Chain A
Amino acid sequence: MTVHNLYIFDRNGTCLHYGEWNRKKQAGISKDEEFKLMYGMSFSIRSFVSKMSPLDMKDGFMTFQTSRYKLHYYETPTGLKIIMNTDLGVPNSRDILHQIYSTLYVEYIVKNPLCALGDTLQSELFNSRLDSFVRALPFFSARAA
């Protein structure tokens, strides 16, 4: 099992952070364009899911998977979006994405007055903590899925 990559978007669609671990295939477009595509897709899926749902939803869009990978989506009420791609064997990781929000983003970004909100995150501390957090996940192992 493995974690491929991780995106953090703010409520306006700015990509605050991008982290990559085991990504074998690159998109072949600039990162900026990739972020826009990713954000646009998640935005559309979210509204698609909420319109198509025959019942009232609690959590809304959470995850989708293809034949090779699985995308996990988590959004806070303030509109922060965390998107993580893993292989298919990884179970529901909502808790883990919430942990990234509460123990990393809030602790190292929101509580650091020098970190402007809504801008690409420059904090070394955050980046290294996030990296070690992801590497410590039970399903993070470099073995190819």
Chain B
Amino acid sequence: MSRQSNRTSDSKKMNSELFTLTYGALVTQLCKDYENDEEVNKQLDKMGYNIGVRLIEDFLARSSVGRCHDFRETADVIAKVAFKMYLGVTPSVTNWSPAGDEFSLILESNPLVDFVELPDNHNNLVYSSLLCGVLRGSLEMVQMAVDVRFAQDTLRGDNVTEIRMKFIKRIEENLPAGDE
């Protein structure tokens, strides 16, 4: 997912088909390796998490985004800067909960699923769960515990793809034991 940027730090564009097809091959392989769809979802999420904790560093190095002061700002940065940078799409941010701790990202097109049709025997597969893991992992690195899941998915017959994000808590920094 992370593109190798060259030394002058302007980002190299990559053909998204290569990425989409590689991702498809990954999901196919996982479906072979695991008995049920839930397990595949879990593995994708876990891989996404591991990507996210590294991707956030690349993101911060390339964009000049500082620390976000509230969840709304975070939502904006994710939708307008991060998705644009890595997937070339800009989801819209909607459905704020009254408390402001929950929102949805609506994806009109999801580059991961460009060539996908889910066969009938994979009803429970959340094809793009990798994205949930990426979002969760990268936000955790900036001290935000967030719950991410797909609320709607065009692959499963919904009209749009909706990723629901729920802020859980701020992760406090702690001084390592034995200091001061």
Instruction: State which of A12, A78, A102 has its C-beta within 8 Å of the C-beta of B9.
Output: A102
CB neighbours (8 Å) of A40 from chain B are 175, 179-180
CB neighbours (8 Å) of B60 from chain A are 76-78
**Does A39 count as interface, using CB distance less than 8 angstroms?**
yes
Per-residue interface assignment for chain A, residues 70 to 99, with 1 indicating a CB less than 8 Å from any chain B CB and 0 otherwise: 000000111110000000000000000000
Interface 9-mer from B28-36, B50-58, B84-92, B99-107: B50-58
* CB atoms of A43 and B175 under 8 A apart: yes
**Does B173 count as interface, using CB distance less than 8 angstroms?**
yes
Interface 9-mer from B10-18, B61-69, B128-136, B159-167: B61-69
Interface of B is mostly: loop
Q: Interface size for chain B: under 10, 10 to 19, 20 to 34, or 35 or more residues?
A: 20 to 34
| Given A13-B175, A78-B141, A79-B173, also A106-B4 (CB < 8 A) | no
**Does B157 count as interface, using CB distance less than 8 angstroms?**
no
Total cross-chain contacts (CB, 8 A): 57
* CB atoms of A111 and B58 under 8 A apart: yes
State in angstroms the CA–CA spacing of A7 and B61 once bound together. 19
* CB atoms of B2 and A111 under 8 A apart: yes
* CB atoms of B58 and A103 under 8 A apart: no
Per-residue interface assignment for chain A, residues 105 to 117, with 1 indicating a CB less than 8 Å from any chain B CB and 0 otherwise: 1110011000001
**Nearest-CB distance from B26 to chain A (Å)?**
15
* CB atoms of B173 and A36 under 8 A apart: no
Which chain B residues numbered 39 to 81 have a C-beta less than 8 Å away from chain A? Answer: 53-54, 56-58, 60-62, 65-68
State in angstroms the CA–CA spacing of A13 and B57 once bound together. 17
B interface residue numbers (CB < 8 A to A): 2, 4-5, 7, 9, 53-54, 56-58, 60-62, 65-68, 141-143, 173, 175-176, 178-180
Subset of 30 A-B contacts with CB under 8 Å: A11-B173, A36-B176, A39-B176, A39-B179, A40-B180, A43-B175, A43-B180, A76-B57, A76-B60, A77-B60, A77-B66, A77-B68, A77-B142, A78-B142, A79-B141, A79-B143, A79-B173, A80-B57, A101-B61, A102-B9, A103-B61, A105-B57, A106-B57, A106-B58, A106-B61, A107-B7, A110-B54, A110-B57, A111-B2, A111-B58
Q: A76-B60, A110-B57 are in contact. List 15 more A-B contacts (CB 8 A).
A: A13-B175, A36-B178, A39-B176, A77-B65, A78-B57, A79-B141, A101-B61, A102-B61, A103-B7, A103-B61, A106-B58, A107-B5, A111-B4, A111-B58, A117-B54
